[in-house]
Amino acid sequence: MRTQVCIVGGGPAGLLLSQLLHLKGIDSVLLEQRTQNYVLSRIRAGVLELGTVDLLRKAGVSARMDRHGIPHDGVSIACGNQEFRIDFRQLTGKPVMIWGQTELTADLYDARDERNAQTFFEVRAVNPQKVDTDNPFVTFIHNGTVHRIDCEFVAGCDGFHGVCRKAIPDTVRREYERAYPFGWLGVLSETPPVSSELIYSAHPRGFALCSMRNQSLSRYYLQCPMTDRTEDWSDNAFWDELRRRIPEAAADTLETGPSIEKSIAPLRSFFCEPMSWGRLFLAGDSAHIVPPTGAKGLNLAASDVHYLYHAFLLHYREGDSSGLSEYSSKAVARVLKAMRFAWWFTNIMHLLPDQPEFDRRMQEAEIDFIKDSDSAQSMLAENYVGLPY
Ligand code: APR
Ligand code: PHB
């Protein structure tokens, strides 16, 4: 079997890259270790930067998003009984788009099905080989049979737990990580959102976030200890704690209902350098993880794909490989700026266990400063809506 680009991983990064390349006549095969339904069952974030929106439109998979997505012009920041709004539209001229990752992943798979794209699901033992030569190939097992795909490039879009990052030699690859001493307990409920925009709330009991997927599907998060398990949290316990941590006006109008999904996710900042090695290129969570506070995970996968897509176009159309050579440095530069924002926002909004009282007062002072400072609000807005590609 032979293809131009062998894409490992059928999440947003791999799907979007494959779709964009296809529209330019560049052939790819996609390997995914799970089933399509399993990938579509994952509940992930739902805030898209305009760069991501534009890329989905370019990929021809934006019809449902353009019809049902909800543009948001700002968010609320709450700290104790103070609440203020960050006006993206006024500060940056740009909104963000509320559109669930599950939805865009479904649109990308629908596009694959329509064009009978070659996808191998439930693959095993995926092994990118000779990626530092001009003749890379990928072996894998599918339905008990060993397969080999000879290709010109390998795109490692296989997420944090994938294999492609490790195909970069240990002597070359540098990894940086910070694990946060808490997690996010998330609940999805078929209830109207408590507010027309997102509310990020710093509270002495812990962080809370009020989000949504649409006008009848809400998404809420509570900071929780990493030792917590979902079975420790009844729905009533969740709603009671949420009410304690969000502004009173919101708590009074909160509509609750049975959780249709409940999960706990760890928070981590992670990135590896370089994001390429020979003819292997990493994109998305395979190369970096950000805490969800800044809603950057999916949007960084999109900007990686933007850089890699244009690099492949330059190579295949003009015979110019400068884009491929510059990919890693360009992608890492944008990743690190978004990672800084997500790290900063996480640290000022969350209660850090065993935190000295002085540090907690400094957190409150920083949020209070943002409340009264146009320049601080502009910094937050500029990062939240997405830095330029
Ligand atoms: N072989 C094939 N597929 C693999 C392998 C492997 N060895 N290991 C992992 N995968 C698949 C996973 O099953 C998953 O479907 O790769 C895909 C990676 O998708 P994501 O983890 O969603 O990563 P990415 O496409 O970069 O999207 C980033 O997804 O997880 C969220 O928060 C993250 O919003 C961010 C976005
Ligand atoms: C979500 O809606 O899942 C969401 C929104 C904003 C975040 C994180 C998650 O920062």
Predicted pLDDT of residue 327: 98
Question: 44 or 75: whose pLDDT is higher?
Answer: 75
At 226 the pLDDT is 93
In sequence order, what DSSP letters do the residues of 366-384 get, joined into one string?
Answer: HHHHHHH-HHHHHHHHHHH
Instruction: Mention every residue, 6+ apart, whose C-beta is less than 8 A from residue 64.
Output: 103, 107
What Å distances lie between residue 305 and 17, 155, 253, 295, 310, CA to CA?
A: 6, 10, 41, 17, 8
Q: Which domain holds residue 65?
A: 5-71+99-177+268-346
Q: What is the pLDDT of residue 8?
A: 99
- Catalytic-residue membership of 292: yes
CATH of the domain at 36: 3.50.50.60
Query: Is residue 307 annotated as a catalytic residue, yes or no?
Result: no
**Is residue 93 one of the residues assigned to a domain?**
no
Identify whether residues 198 and 329 lie together within a single domain: no
Query: How many angstroms does the Cα of residue 294 sit away from the middle of ligand 1?
Result: 19
Mutate which of 42, 43, 198 for ligand 2? The one with the most ligand atoms within 8 Å of its CB, which is 198
Give the per-residue pLDDT at 277.
98
The bound ligand whose nearest atom lies closest to the alpha carbon of 198 is 2
Together in a domain, 214 and 329: no
Residues with CB under 6 A from ligand 2: 45-47, 198, 209, 211, 219, 292-293, 295
pLDDT at 174 over 90: yes
**Residues 347-369 pLDDT 10s:** 999 999 899 999 999 999 999 99
DSSP state of 148: E
Which listed ligand is nearest to 102 at the C-alpha? 1
Q: Are residues 154 and 208 in the same domain?
A: no
The sign of the CA dihedral 101, 107, 111, 114 is: positive
Q: Which ligand is nearest to the CA of 290?
A: 1
Pull the structure tokens for residue 57: 């439109």
Asked if the structure places residue 59 within a domain, the reply is yes
Structural domain contains residue 31: yes
Q: Check pLDDT > 90 for residue 44.
A: no
Tell me: do 253 and 293 sit in the same domain.
no
Q: Which of 40, 158, 298 to mutate to test the pocket of ligand 1 (most atoms within 8 A of CB)?
A: 158
**For residue 81, is pLDDT > 90?**
no
Average pLDDT over residues 98-108: 96
CB 141 within 8 A of CB 125: yes
Residues 246 and 273 in one domain: no
Residue 184 pLDDT exceeds 90: yes
27-41 tens-digit pLDDT: 999 999 999 999 999
Q: Does one domain contain both 65 and 166? A: yes
Give how many domains the chain has, as a whole number.
2
Say how many Å lie between the CA of residue 78 and the centre of ligand 1.
33
Confidence (pLDDT) at 35? 97
Q: Which of 203, 288, 296, 315 is catalytic?
A: 296
Specify the 3-state DSSP secondary structure of 90: helix
| Mean pLDDT confidence for 167-172 | 98
The atom of ligand 1 lying closest to the CA of 160 is 21
| Alpha-carbon separation of residue 65 from 70, 80, 97, 110, 188 (angstroms) | 8, 35, 9, 14, 20
**pTM assigned to the model:** 0.97
Evaluate whether residue 365 is within a structural domain. yes
Q: Which pLDDT score is estimated for 59?
A: 98
My answer on whether 46 and 117 are in the same domain is: yes
Is 89 a member of any domain?
Answer: no
Residue 151: the pLDDT is 98
Q: Are residues 107 and 222 in the same domain?
A: no
Rounded to an integer, the average pLDDT of 175-181 is 97
Domain membership of residue 88 (yes or no) is: no
Residue 128: cis peptide before it, omega within 30 degrees of 0: no
pLDDT at 314: 98
Tens of pLDDT, residue by residue over 211-265, are 999 999 999 999 999 999 999 999 999 999 999 999 999 999 999 999 999 999 9
Average pLDDT over residues 98-119: 96
Catalytic entry in 95, 193, 247, 292: 292
- pLDDT band for position 45 (cuts 50, 70, 90): confident
What does the pLDDT look like over 275-313, one tens digit per residue?
999 999 999 999 999 999 999 999 999 999 999 999 999
Q: Which ligand is nearest to the CA of 193?
A: 2
339 and 247 housed in the same domain: no
215 with 339, same domain: the answer is: no
Q: Do residue 138 and residue 232 come from a single domain?
A: no
Angstrom distance (rounded) from CA 80 to CA 203: 6
**CATH number for the domain that contains residue 380:** 3.30.9.10
Query: Residue 186 carries which DSSP code?
Result: E
Pairing outcome for strands 47-48 and 276-277: unpaired
Q: Is residue 241 part of a domain?
A: yes
Choose the residue to mutate in 33, 129, 286, 305 for probing ligand 1, maximizing ligand atoms within 8 Å of C-beta: 33
Is 15 in the same domain as 60? yes
- Is 384 catalytic? The answer is yes
The set of protein residues with a Cβ atom below 6 angstroms from ligand 1 is 8-14, 31-34, 39, 44-45, 101, 123, 126, 157-159, 161-163, 284-285, 297-298, 301
DSSP 8-state code for residue 119: E
At residue 43 the predicted structure's pLDDT band, cuts being 50, 70 and 90, is: confident
Would residue 170 count as lying in a domain? yes
